[in-house]
Chain A
């Protein structure tokens, strides 16, 4: 049901027009951060206000919305955003990656490959990849204008000098369409290869920092690296304890105070789907007998 006091999808039409114009420019200039007049949303900064505004601007009554937080459909952030749009836009929601037309995500890209009829909306805390290297906005803007990204390579090199390898594990910088260096939001670098040549449109919204950027479908996205230290996605060397998957990104869960721990898929929909299909891990009790939530 639409709450009568609100416009469809919460935002007023003038705000949606402003965000929509920013999205079009973001798509036209892949990886470039378009400033926009971010609004206050009925949730705190850091909870996905940027992603929510982008979703609100593109969402229609025919859409099926999925929201994930660190891969999970079941966390507070994911549930409250899903309910927010179910209430203000009356859209159908799902946890199944395949069925969704719009997926809003915090810090993960689903394991299931995305398709052309999907839009992936990222919640971004700090959109400027150069911010921790150069605090001045005027300077980072100039660096982007000149494609002056040497500083970022120095940062990665310092990792190598200090640790022997590139230790950056999340928010790993990428270069989009051979031009703009972009922050992929704090996704684990395991997910970086999924952004490259992706059939789905990827939109990024940073509410507090007031920026929108995009990767069009089928666009080259390269993780920065060196010839002698090539980019390597990182993954715990273990199968998922619940579904046995050996190629998914894993969460480490501490199970007792004696050093016990288990590794499970961070993508809950992927894990449940595999369990429903009969895959079991070493610690699965009998979750395959339980009905997958919907």
Chain B
């Protein structure tokens, strides 16, 4: 049984750490495929990575319903840490979540089960944060779309292996769709719904 005093800490400097983390995430979203670093570190509970924890502290609060994958939802350390530091309500229904935290990409549910937004309000969609093995080595991918000057290349080791194939549904759905943030330790890459990804093989 973990008490509040034993929980990993939040940001040492709430204001400036949140600002710096946000700028990394904003730059990642504005330049898909580019690897941004999250500098300020907070403690991270259980299987949550340092980057994920910093993003949670920066963007989550009582206004953002949160969906956790089974491995996260089963960890009382994660639940307590999120509740104490962010106050974000954890929901069972993924279709109303503002954010989803995925620690086990292999068990990523079908993306249609998250909020996709509506044609009138496409911003009311889930941002899916997926923890991955590596964002600097692995399979290479070619990315195109807004934010990218021509073609961006990304080398990443990602589960599920077919993530980018599954994200192709964004093309037909646009402007509805799913925005993905990939986290590997302190590295972050964003794949907004406008990005088209082609696998270049290994």
Residues in chain A within 8 A of chain B (CB atoms): 7-9, 13-14, 16-18, 20-30, 32, 34-35, 57-61, 141-142, 144-146, 177, 179-180, 199, 201, 214-220
Contacts A8-B16, A142-B120 hold; do A24 and B29 have CB atoms under 8 A apart? yes
B122 within 8 A of A: yes
Give the interface size class of chain B: 35 or more
Query: Which of the residues A17, A24, A144 comes within 8 Å of B127, measured between beta carbons?
Result: A24
B58, B63, B98, B122 interface centre (most CB from chain A within 10 Å): B122
User: Can you name the residue of chain B whose Cβ is closest to the Cβ of A215?
Assistant: B146
User: Can you name the residue of chain A whose Cβ is closest to the Cβ of B192?
Assistant: A28
Contacts A8-B16, A20-B26 hold; do A219 and B146 have CB atoms under 8 A apart? yes
**CB pairs A–B below 8 angstroms (5 shown):** A9-B19, A25-B125, A30-B146, A32-B175, A216-B30
Residues in chain B within 8 A of chain A (CB atoms): 14-16, 18-20, 22-23, 25-26, 29-31, 58-61, 63-64, 98, 118-123, 125, 127, 146-150, 174-175, 177, 179, 192-194
Report B-chain residues with C-beta under 8 Å of the C-beta of A57.
22
Contacts A27-B29, A218-B148 hold; do A145 and B15 have CB atoms under 8 A apart? no
A24 touching B146 by the CB < 8 A rule? no
Query: Which of the residues B60, B61, B179 comes within 8 Å of A24, measured between beta carbons?
Result: B179
Q: How far is the CB of A201 from chain B (nearest CB, A)?
A: 5
B15 touching A218 by the CB < 8 A rule? no
Query: Which of the residues B15, B22, B29, B61 comes within 8 Å of A28, measured between beta carbons?
Result: B29
Q: How far is the CB of A143 from chain B (nearest CB, A)?
A: 10
Q: Is the interface of A mostly helix, strand, loop or mixed?
A: mixed
Report B-chain residues with C-beta under 8 Å of the C-beta of A145.
118-120
B147 touching A58 by the CB < 8 A rule? no
User: Can you name the residue of chain B whose Cβ is closest to the Cβ of A177?
Assistant: B146
Query: Which of the residues B26, B118, B146, B175 comes within 8 Å of A218, measured between beta carbons?
Result: B146
Report A-chain residues with C-beta under 8 Å of the C-beta of B26.
20, 23-24, 27, 58, 201
Q: How far is the CB of B175 from chain A (nearest CB, A)?
A: 5
B15 touching A217 by the CB < 8 A rule? no
Report A-chain residues with C-beta under 8 Å of the C-beta of B14.
13
Q: How far is the CB of A34 from chain B (nearest CB, A)?
A: 5
Q: How far is the CB of A177 from chain B (nearest CB, A)?
A: 5
A218 touching B63 by the CB < 8 A rule? no
Q: How far is the CB of B13 from chain A (nearest CB, A)?
A: 10
The CA of A29 and the CA of B60, in the complex, are separated in Å by 20
The CA of A220 and the CA of B174, in the complex, are separated in Å by 16
The CA of A214 and the CA of B127, in the complex, are separated in Å by 17
Contacts A30-B146, A179-B175, A216-B147 hold; do A25 and B18 have CB atoms under 8 A apart? no
Q: How far is the CB of A24 from chain B (nearest CB, A)?
A: 5
Report B-chain residues with C-beta under 8 Å of the C-beta of A199.
149
User: Can you name the residue of chain A whose Cβ is closest to the Cβ of B27?
Assistant: A201
B194 touching A177 by the CB < 8 A rule? yes
User: Can you name the residue of chain A whose Cβ is closest to the Cβ of B20?
Assistant: A60
Report B-chain residues with C-beta under 8 Å of the C-beta of A16.
18-19, 22
A219 touching B174 by the CB < 8 A rule? no
B61 touching A27 by the CB < 8 A rule? no
The CA of A38 and the CA of B13, in the complex, are separated in Å by 25
A22 touching B15 by the CB < 8 A rule? no
Q: How far is the CB of B86 from chain A (nearest CB, A)?
A: 10
User: Can you name the residue of chain B whose Cβ is closest to the Cβ of A141?
Assistant: B120
A-B CB proximity, top 9 nearest: A145-B119, A28-B192, A216-B147, A25-B123, A219-B146, A216-B146, A218-B149, A28-B179, A60-B19
Report A-chain residues with C-beta under 8 Å of the C-beta of B22.
16, 20, 57-58
Report A-chain residues with C-beta under 8 Å of the C-beta of B149.
199, 217-218
User: Can you name the residue of chain A whose Cβ is closest to the Cβ of B174?
Assistant: A179
Query: Which of the residues B15, B20, B175 comes within 8 Å of A29, measured between beta carbons?
Result: B175
Report B-chain residues with C-beta under 8 Å of the C-beta of A27.
26, 29-30, 147, 192
B22, B125, B146, B194 interface centre (most CB from chain A within 10 Å): B146
Q: How far is the CB of B194 from chain A (nearest CB, A)?
A: 7
Report B-chain residues with C-beta under 8 Å of the C-beta of A26.
123
A17, A146, A199 interface centre (most CB from chain B within 10 Å): A17
Report B-chain residues with C-beta under 8 Å of the C-beta of A179.
174-175
Q: How far is the CB of A150 from chain B (nearest CB, A)?
A: 17
The CA of A216 and the CA of B30, in the complex, are separated in Å by 5
The CA of A13 and the CA of B29, in the complex, are separated in Å by 21
A8, A28, A201 interface centre (most CB from chain B within 10 Å): A28
